[in-house]
Amino acid sequence: MTTSLTSTVSGSGTPSAAGSPGADTDAKAGTRTLTRTRTRTAKRRKRPPHTPLHPRPSVPLTLVTGLVLVYTLLPLAWLVINATKDQNGLLDSFGLWFAEDSHFWDNIGRTLTYDDGVFVRWLLNTLMYVVAGAGGATILAVLGGYALATYDFPGRRAVFAVVLGAVAVPGTALAVPTFLMFSNMGLTNTPWAVIIPSLISPFGLYLMWVFAAESVPTELLEAARIDGSGELRTFFTIALPLLMPGTVTVLLFSMVATWNNYFLPLIMIKDPDWYPLTLGLNAWNAQAQTAGGEAVFDLIITGSLLTIVPIVAVFLLLQRYWQSGLAAGSVKE
Partner 1 sequence: MRKHTTRRLLGALAVVSTLVLTATACGGGDASDGGAGGSSPKDVEAALAKGGKVTVWAWEPTLKKVAEDFEKKYPKVDIELVNAGTGDKQYTALQNAMAAGSGAPDVAQVEYYALGQFAIGKSVEDLSSYGARKYGTTFTSGPWNAVTEEEAIYALPMDSGPMAFFYNKKVFDKHGIEVPTTWDEYVEAARALHKADPKIFITNDTGDAGATTSLIWQAGGRPYKTDGTDVTVDFGDEGTKKYTATWQKLLDEKLVAPISSWSDAWYKGLADGSLATLSIGAWMPANLTSGVASASGDWRVAPLPQWTKGDKVSAENGGSSLAVPKAAKNKELAYAFTEFATTGAGASSRVAAGAFPATRADLESKAFLDTPFPYFGGQKANRIFADSARDVGADWSYLPYQVYANSIFNDTVGKAYVSPTTITDGLKKWQEASVTYGNDQGFTVNK
Catalog residues that contact partner 1 under the rule CB under 8 A: 87-88, 90-92, 183, 186, 188-189, 270-272, 283, 286-295, 297
Length of the chain, please? 333
Task: Closer to partner 1 by CB, 159 or 187: give it.
Answer: 187
Closer to partner 1 by CB, 3 or 184: give it: 184
What separation in angstroms does the CA of 210 have from each of 194, 204, 243?
Answer: 28, 10, 11
CB of 124 to partner 1, least distance (A): 19
CB nearer to partner 1: pick between 91 and 124: 91
66 C-beta neighbours (distance < 10 Å), count = 10
Q: What is the Cα–Cα distance from 34 to 36, expressed in whole angstroms?
A: 5
Q: Give the nearest distance from C-beta 157 to partner 1 in angstroms.
A: 40
8 Å CB contact between 292 and 215? no
Question: Could you tell me which residues come within 8 angstroms of residue 261 by beta carbon, excluding any fewer than 6 positions away?
Answer: 129, 194, 198, 276, 278
Give the Cα separation of 276 and 194 in Å (integer). Answer: 10
Work out how close the CB of 283 gets to partner 1 at its nearest, in angstroms, rounded to a whole number.
Answer: 6
User: Could you tell me the smallest distance in angstroms from the CB atom of residue 284 to partner 1?
Assistant: 10
Pick 297 or 322: Cβ nearer partner 1: 297
Cβ distance to partner 1 smaller for residue 272 or 310: 272
d(CA 92, CA 88): 6
Least CB distance from residue 88 to partner 1, whole Å? 4
φ/ψ of 190, rounded to 5, equals -125, 160
